[in-house]
Amino acid sequence: MLGAKAATTIGPESWRNNTLKGIKLSQTIVQKSDKSCDIGRSLDPSPNLRDVVAQLSNEEIHRYTREVRAVVAKLRESLLDTNEEIKCLIRGKEALEKALEHTRKDLKLNRDSQEIRLSRPTKERDHDGADDLLNAERAHLLNCKRALESQLKSVQQQLQILDNARRHLFATLQERSRVMDLLCHALSSITSPENTLLTHRSKTSLDGRISRFGSSQADPLGPYTPDADLALADALEARARSTYLRKELKEAIEKTDKLQKAAHKSVNDGLTHKLAETITLKQHLGVSLGENRHSIHRTQRWYDATDRARSYTLGPVTISDLTTRERIDRPLVRVFQRHPGTQLAEPQDIIKGSDGLLQSLTATSRNIGLLKLSQIRLREDIRSKSLASSIDSSITRLRRRKGDHRWTLGEAF
């Protein structure tokens, strides 16, 4: 267009060229300015830079704090597990001390039993099977005592290791918790048992965050520090060792208890063998005594009935006391005897019956005397068996009385 009008212009060429150069220069500057503005729009900081930077810093702090909270939760969980393990091991230690005390009481009871057996008569002091059982029981108890003492020493050392691990965990937990003062939601509120679904979700996310912290990712300047990793590893190792030790402790206590009961039972069985026979004979004598007393009562009742029957057979003492129906010459008999050969054997039968009843009374009286004599002998035999059983069971009663270990050990053993 300008070229078309150039033929009609009358101004100088230089004047027109200078003007065109100025226009082109202005257009170039405008383009550069627009491009610079576009670049500025994409690269220059926004006017709210302070707010954006502060928000980014807050997000970084929030992220770091949440990760630290996950580490703190893991440390707290490990601390609680360590406390529970210490409680369990303390209970195991108490059970071990109780078992050791029972072993010492059994040793004291074994020694008392041997001393009591020394008081037997001279003819009864020969070495017998009961002495062998007592000596074997003492050997078993001494071995169990040494094993339990060694186990108790190991438990005490492990308790010290667990206490050191707990102290380390607590110190690390306190150090990691220093940046959690401004955290809005506490972990306890998230994992509260009132909300089961929320608890499941929070635990899942917590496990996911904790799973990112491994021993290879420990960072001195990060949420999961090498000290926290060391504290967790030491506590885990101490708990594993304590669990294994508690298992060994339970097995040792059960084994010791079985040995003690077996030895105690074998000794008691040996000591009560003769006592059982004596008591059995005494029980049979008691049954025989009861049968004898029952027989005496039956025989006495029969004697009284026979004596009364004989009195009825003999009739009244004087003839004047006879009734008409009891007389031999009662009217019915007199009428019957009007014919010859009609004699009755009633008097002879009465005399024979009276003699038979008298013989029965004599035999019954003799039997009552024999039964009473047998009763006296049975009572004497029962008394003898009672004295013998009381002597034979003196040691057995002592062992059974103290077998439950509910008595105080007077002196160190």
Q: What is the pLDDT of residues 123-151, one digit of tens each?
A: 456 677 777 888 999 999 999 999 999 99
Work out whether the CA dihedral 257, 261, 267, 268 comes out positive or negative: positive
Q: What is the C-alpha to C-alpha distance for residues 273 and 275, in angstroms, rounded to an integer?
A: 5
What dihedral do alpha carbons 53, 57, 62, 65 form, nearest 10°?
180
Overall CATH class of domain 58-271: mainly alpha
Whose CA is closest to 113, among 345, 403, 408, 406?
A: 403
201-215 burial string, b = 16+ CB within 10 Å, else e?
Answer: ebeeebeebbeebee
Q: What is the C-alpha to C-alpha distance for residues 143 and 288, in angstroms, rounded to an integer?
A: 49
**pLDDT for the residue numbered 337:** 64
Most confident of 148-157, 210-219, 304-313, 333-342: 148-157
Note the pLDDT tens digit of each residue in 266-304.
Answer: 988 888 887 787 788 888 889 999 999 998 999 889 888
Burial class (CB in 10 A: 0-12, 13-18, 19+), 247: exposed
Note the pLDDT tens digit of each residue in 201-253.
Answer: 344 444 544 555 544 478 888 888 898 999 999 999 999 999 999 999 999 99
SS (H, E, C) 302-346: HHHHHHHHHHHHHCCCCHHHCCHHHCCCCHHHHHHCCCCCCCCCH
Q: Which residues contact 76 (CB under 8 A, 6 or more apart)?
A: 173, 187
